[in-house]
Structure 1
Amino acid sequence: MRNDRHLSAEQLTTKIDSGEIDTVVVAFTDMQGRLQGKRLHAAYFRDEVLGHGTEGCNYLLGVDVEMNTVDGYAITSWERGYGDMEFVLDLDTIRVLTHLPATAMVQCDLAWPDGTPVVQSPRAILAAQVEKAASMGYVALAGTELEFILFEDSYESAHNADYQHLTPANQYNVDYSILGTSRVEGVLRDIRNTTYAAGMNVEGAKGECNFGQHEIGFLYDDVVVTADNHAVYKTVAKEIAAQHGKSLTFMAKYNEREGNSCHIHLSLRGQDGDIVFWDDGARTPLYDHFVAGVLAGMAELTLLFAPNVNSYKRFADGSFAPTAIAWGEDNRTCAVRLVGHGAGARMENRVPGGDVNPYLALAAMLAAGLHGIEQELELEPALVGNAYSSDKPRVPHTLREAREVFASSPLARATLGEEVVDHYTNMADVELAAYEAAVTDWELRRGFERL
């Protein structure tokens, strides 16, 4: 088991037999980073699903964020009849959800009815890069720093207000403020304690800059464990906010103030746990090659770090969200920041926002970094000073720009595979088409009377 707060299959069965657990959530993470699946009666799960798995419609990897069926996906369509995918239980992920009555959760991989993996599944994409790292003698560790904005409004009232003029849980910048976090400690405490009970290693909570903005941190862990926990945490946090009559958002840019970031920390170790990024008080050549690879692939893989139209609203000079593809020593103006030393030496990717799919982002970082190691790419000198005013190449500024460089990227196709690149290029096309057909509040205010 990942830790003693996870359950083994035997322990889960015992709790079902005793009536302590009566509901089991079976879930996978979709393209948008959301948990999708079923709530099963525990006895049915025990008797039928635990040994054989269950299934769901393959359209779940071919819809937009509003669950509309859309064209362009090779694996699912009206012509193909929208068949099933198998939900393959990962019994290492069994956890109790204490904020819900008598409920446990199991996360899943996806397979076709013949047992072959669904390679376009986010968890499968990350697993492929983990396998590649293992073949080179490495394991990957990661941590995600995920921010959200908390509102006094319920999700229902926010929806009815068209998500406009909501009341943030704090009325001023509460970055590191103990008083500011005390104001919303009821929600923060429930999230911390629930995620801890669900097997996550919680560090703590802190205020952030935007009104009502907060971050709950978790310990560094294996990359798949980190991605699994990230997906569960997002769902749990929303559910707990709703239980308090409030709402929260992880969208990258809710308003003109600071956006929600998701800085991703990543490092490699040897298969036996040996430190490979640091030696004799300095970075190793392998560390430099890895970072050089991430930088070389940054523009081509930005689509997997910033997957939505709204993602790109974060990238503004002086915003603490990066605009320059550069690295620096503990320099928060750069896209890549190197921090720590010894066992704590790691790179931080500051490009992703709160809307990122963690499996895709981690897979992209690993793919590019391992490419840098294989090709022994040379790391350019660190940027000293303000990256916003530098002459370094820029992070793609729009979803369309990111889509174009991703679709045509030899690196993406060589490391992630043709099927993956085509699938997520279509996801970008779907989002762009929906956005370009929409009439925004900005257009109405600007043009209704004056144009």
Structure 2
Amino acid sequence: MRNDRHLTREDLLGLIDSGTLDTVVVAFTDMQGRLQGKRFHAAYFRDVVLEHGTEGCNYLLGVDVDMNTVPGYAMTSWEKGYGDVEFVLDLETTRLLPHLPATAMVQADLAWLDGTPVDQSPRTVLKKQVDRARDLGYSVVAGTELEFILFDETYEAASSRNYQDLVPSNQYNVDYSILGTTRVEPVLRDIRNTMYAAGLNVECAKGECNYGQHEIGFLYDDVLTTADNHSVYKTVAKEIAAQHGKALTFMAKYDQREGNSCHIHLSLRGLDGGTVFWDEGHRTPLYDSFVAGVLATMADFTLLYAPNVNSYKRFAHGSFAPTAIAWGEDNRTCAVRLVGDGAGARLENRLPGGDVNPYLALAGVLAGGLHGVEQGLELEPALTGSAYTSDAPRVPGTLRHARDLFAASTVARAAFGDEVVDHYTNAADVELAAFESAVTDWERRRGFERM
């Protein structure tokens, strides 16, 4: 058990046998970072799925955000018949979902029918980097900070209005405002308490800069646990907002104001949990090489941190989102910010937005850092002052640029394998093709009469 709010196998069976649970959700995280899966009647889950598992179509790792099958994926196609993959239950993830009646959830890995892992599955991508760290003698802890914007609209109403002119739940900047968060405390409180009961270690909620923007923070954990919890939280937060007649979005850039970030805090530990980034009041050479690796691979790995066209709208001058590939000590203008000391010494990667897939982003930070460790990279001097006006290298400014860098990256192919790099390069191609064929409201306003 990850903590005493998760369920053991015996706990789960007892709740099913007593009739307390009647539904078990089995879910995995797809390419877009969404939970996908099935809802089982609890008795069937107990009698069949718990021992024999379940399957799903392999197209679930080969669709666009609208669930359309799209070409270009080696693992799934019409020619290959769209066969099945197995959902391999990870019973360590078993948890109650208190916001839903009599419901528990188990998260899963994906495997081919012969039992071999599906390499392109985001959870597998991260687990392979965790194994790589373990082989070098390290464990990994991480935390993700997700921001969202809350609206006084239902999801259905937002859709019918084409997601325009929505009313945010706060009409002014509520960054750290107690009054501003009190206005929406019924939703925030419900999310906090539900997540705690579901096994997450909740820290706090705070207001953010954009209108209706908030963040709920969770304590760092083992990196795989953090990714699992991130996926559950993102889904449950939307479900709870809907139960309150509201909607929230994690999209990286909803409007011209501040976007939604997903800052990633990460550090290595020894296999015994001991501190390896800090010694006698200073950063260790290991820490410096790890940070140097994250910086050296940041451009190549940006696709893992910013996977959508909209992601790149967030990288704006003076917006608290980074535009320069640089590091600084407690400097929020840099892409990498170093904070803490002793056991709390960690890096913060500020590049990812709220639309990120947590497994892929965490795998990118870890793979980049381990590259730096393995190559013994030296860390450049810290940037002081504003990175926005510095001469540091720029973050890729478009999805196409990031896609090309990732596809051509020898470091990415060495770390993740050709199958993974080609799979997520194709995902970028699908996103780009969809965007480039769309006619936007901006184009209509600009060209309908005046051109």
SS at match of 2:230: helix
Q: Which residue of 1 aligns with 2:393?
A: 393
TM-score (norm. length: structure 2) = 1.00
Q: Which residue of 2 aligns with 1:309?
A: 309
1:56 equivalenced with 2:56 (yes/no)? yes
Deviations 1:275-332 (A, max 9, x none): 0000000000000000000000000000000000000000011000000000000000
Q: Which residue of 1 aligns with 2:378?
A: 378
Q: Which residue of 2 aligns with 1:446?
A: 446
Deviations 1:376-432 (A, max 9, x none): 000000000000000010000000000000000011001111100000000000000
How far did 1:18 drift? Answer: 0.3
SS at match of 1:191: helix
Give the letter aligned to residue 436 of structure 1. E
Aligned length in residues: 451
Question: How many Å separate the matches in 2 of 1:53 and 1:176?
Answer: 46
In structure 1, stretches of 5+ residues that fail to align are none
Aligned ranges for residues 98-117 of structure 1 at < 5 Å? 98-117=98-117
Question: How many Å separate the matches in 2 of 1:394 and 1:414?
Answer: 24
Deviations 1:220-240 (A, max 9, x none): 100000000000000000000
SS at match of 1:38: strand
Give the letter aligned to residue 89 of structure 1. L
TM-score (norm. length: structure 1) = 1.00
How far did 1:266 drift? Answer: 0.3
Aligned ranges for residues 347-386 of structure 1 at < 5 Å? 347-386=347-386
Question: How many Å separate the matches in 2 of 1:14 and 1:346?
Answer: 41
SS at match of 2:55: strand
Question: How many Å separate the matches in 1 of 2:133 and 2:362?
Answer: 12
1:162 equivalenced with 2:162 (yes/no)? yes
Aligned ranges for residues 124-273 of structure 1 at < 5 Å? 124-273=124-273
In structure 2, stretches of 5+ residues that fail to align are none
Give the letter aligned to residue 38 of structure 1. K
Question: How many Å separate the matches in 2 of 1:140 and 1:363?
Answer: 11
Question: How many Å separate the matches in 2 of 1:150 and 1:407?
Answer: 36
The sequence identity of aligned pairs, in percent, is: 79
Question: How many Å separate the matches in 2 of 1:329 and 1:286?
Answer: 17
How far did 1:165 drift? Answer: 0.3
Give the letter aligned to residue 355 of structure 1. D
SS at match of 1:189: helix
Give the letter aligned to residue 270 of structure 1. G
Q: Which residue of 2 aligns with 1:278?
A: 278
How far did 1:10 drift? Answer: 1.0
Q: Which residue of 2 aligns with 1:41?
A: 41
Q: Which residue of 2 aligns with 1:413?
A: 413
How far did 1:193 drift? Answer: 0.4
Question: How many Å separate the matches in 2 of 1:239 and 1:204?
Answer: 19
How far did 1:375 drift? Answer: 0.6
How far did 1:41 drift? Answer: 0.2
Question: How many Å separate the matches in 1 of 2:402 and 2:56?
Answer: 31
Question: How many Å separate the matches in 1 of 2:147 and 2:53?
Answer: 34
Give the letter aligned to residue 313 of structure 1. K
Give the letter aligned to residue 14 of structure 2. T
Question: How many Å separate the matches in 2 of 1:444 and 1:87?
Answer: 45
Question: How many Å separate the matches in 2 of 1:310 and 1:336?
Answer: 21
SS at match of 2:442: helix
SS at match of 1:216: strand
Deviation above 2 Å: which 4+ runs of structure 1?
Answer: none
How far did 1:176 drift? Answer: 0.2
Question: How many Å separate the matches in 2 of 1:114 and 1:416?
Answer: 22
Question: How many Å separate the matches in 2 of 1:107 and 1:252?
Answer: 25
Deviations 1:24-62 (A, max 9, x none): 000000000000000000000000000111000000000
